């Protein structure tokens, strides 16, 4: 968007004025929608604070620590947003958000607790009959308009993204000469930061669910996908590499999984194996016997190869031929992995290369660290 003057003369003046009128109309529409949605948002927050949090506190249906786990700082958020609403209804958008943004740390706290809140809510709905009945009665009130508590608790997360879009639209249709321009622009930056925090939080949660899923697929306790930070080491026990996240890694991220055929070094039969690729290791597993009473649908971990000093190459498969081979070289092992699917092979190659490259960028010069450990 540009507010630079247009051509001189009557036609140019008319064109500039028309453009300003268009910006003003767009700004008015955005402002009106922002106020209307803020009114509805505050009303819905009040449903949670009044009909749930305050009544539950008075009745003693849930312990204080459980209430705080479920509702987090939603009462504070409601109070802060009521103040914002007063400014918006009076047309003071810049001033309103200028005073609102310093309180965004309450939203960050809420974001950090949202998955724990959902978990706690589910647990106590199952185990506490009085709470379950209370929730059903409150949600049946006409004020709730068929909304569930679970839906209402997600509103602060959703509202941040709405703020970001509203403020971006306001900024795009506000002249830099307007006294509110700087305030609204600062608010856009603040909302983008909280929005990024929400995205990272969601990404971490989804990754945790993937790690948990893979851990449940693996029988026994020797192969630890979900593990506290510790040390990675090669262990001769059961010819299995016992795996924990390296001390110098911040966390383990799930990347992909799938079947690949292992090409043995001495010309034996090619055997398909299941491989799980994470940000710091490649886990090799085999399917448990389908006749096993409890582990028939699980995998047994065999080896885990740390990616820190791994190199990966396509032996052949650079062309559009049917599949190819990947050569993976580790400090203490070498793998030849085959796939007859060219697209799948290319994806494995890209995923492995990216994971190795990311590790190298995170921990430059770590080869010597692995050498010291071996």
Tens of pLDDT along 153-168? Answer: 999 999 999 999 999 9
User: Pick the residue with more confidence: 2 or 238?
Assistant: 2
- Contact (Cβ atoms closer than 8 angstroms) between residue 74 and residue 49: yes
Query: What local confidence, expressed as pLDDT, does residue 222 receive?
Result: 72
Domains and CATH numbers, the chain: 9-217 (1.20.900.10), 237-373 (2.30.29.30)
Tens of pLDDT along 325-374? Answer: 999 999 888 999 999 888 999 999 999 999 999 988 876 655 433 333 32
CA–CA dist 177, 174 (Å, integer):
8
The model's pTM:
0.78
Q: What is the largest CA-CA distance in the chain?
A: 88
Q: Please, what is the average pLDDT of the chain? A: 85
Tens of pLDDT along 193-237? Answer: 999 999 999 999 999 999 999 999 998 767 788 854 333 443 333
pLDDT band at 320 (very low <50, low <70, confident <90, very high): low
Computed from CA positions of residues 214, 216, 219, 224, in that sequence, does the dihedral angle turn out positive or negative?
Answer: positive
Beta strands in the chain (DSSP E): 254-262, 271-278, 281-287, 299-306, 311-316, 324-330, 333-339
Query: What local confidence, expressed as pLDDT, does residue 238 receive?
Result: 33
- Contact (Cβ atoms closer than 8 angstroms) between residue 148 and residue 168: no
pLDDT band at 242 (very low <50, low <70, confident <90, very high): very low
Find all residues with CB under 8 Å of 209, minimum gap 6, and list them.
Answer: none
């Amino acid at each position: 968007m540009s507010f630079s003057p247009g051509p001189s003369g009557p036609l140019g003046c008319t064109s500039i004025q028309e453009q300003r009128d268009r910006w003003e109309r767009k700004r008015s529409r955005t402002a009106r929608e922002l106020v209307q949605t803020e009114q509805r948002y505050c009303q819905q927050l009040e449903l949670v604070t009044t009909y749930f949090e305050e009544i539950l506190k008075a009745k003693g249906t849930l312990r204080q620590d459980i209430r705080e786990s479920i509702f987090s700082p939603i009462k504070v958020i409601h109070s802060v947003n009521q103040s914002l609403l007063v400014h918006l209804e009076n047309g003071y958008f810049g001033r309103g958000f200028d005073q609102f943004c310093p309180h965004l740390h309450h939203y960050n706290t809420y974001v950090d607790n949202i998955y724990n809140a959902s978990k706690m809510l589910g647990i106590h709905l199952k185990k506490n009959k009085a709470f379950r009945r209370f929730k059903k009665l409150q949600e049946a009130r006409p004020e709730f308009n068929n909304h569930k508590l679970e839906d209402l608790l997600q509103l602060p997360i959703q509202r941040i993204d709405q703020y970001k879009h509203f403020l971006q639209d306001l900024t795009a249709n506000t002249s830099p000469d307007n006294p509110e321009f700087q305030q609204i622009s600062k608010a856009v930056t603040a909302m983008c930061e909280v929005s990024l925090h929400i995205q990272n939080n969601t990404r971490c949660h989804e990754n945790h669910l993937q790690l948990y899923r893979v851990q449940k697929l693996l029988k026994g306790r020797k192969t630890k996908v979900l593990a506290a930070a510790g040390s990675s080491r090669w262990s001769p026990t059961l010819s299995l590499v016992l795996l924990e996240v390296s001390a110098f890694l911040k966390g383990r991220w799930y990347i992909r999984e799938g079947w690949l055929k292992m090409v043995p070094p001495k010309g034996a039969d090619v055997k398909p194996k299941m491989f799980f690729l994470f940000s710091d290791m490649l886990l090799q597993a085999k399917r448990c016997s389908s006749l096993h009473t409890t582990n028939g649908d699980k995998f047994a971990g065999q080896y885990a190869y740390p990616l820190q000093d791994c190199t990966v190459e396509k032996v052949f498969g650079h062309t559009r031929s049917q599949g190819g081979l990947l050569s993976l070289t580790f400090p203490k092992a070498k793998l030849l992995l085959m796939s007859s699917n060219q697209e799948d092979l290319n994806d494995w190659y890209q995923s492995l290369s990216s994971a190795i490259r990311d590790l190298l960028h995170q921990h430059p010069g770590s080869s010597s660290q692995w050498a010291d450990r071996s």
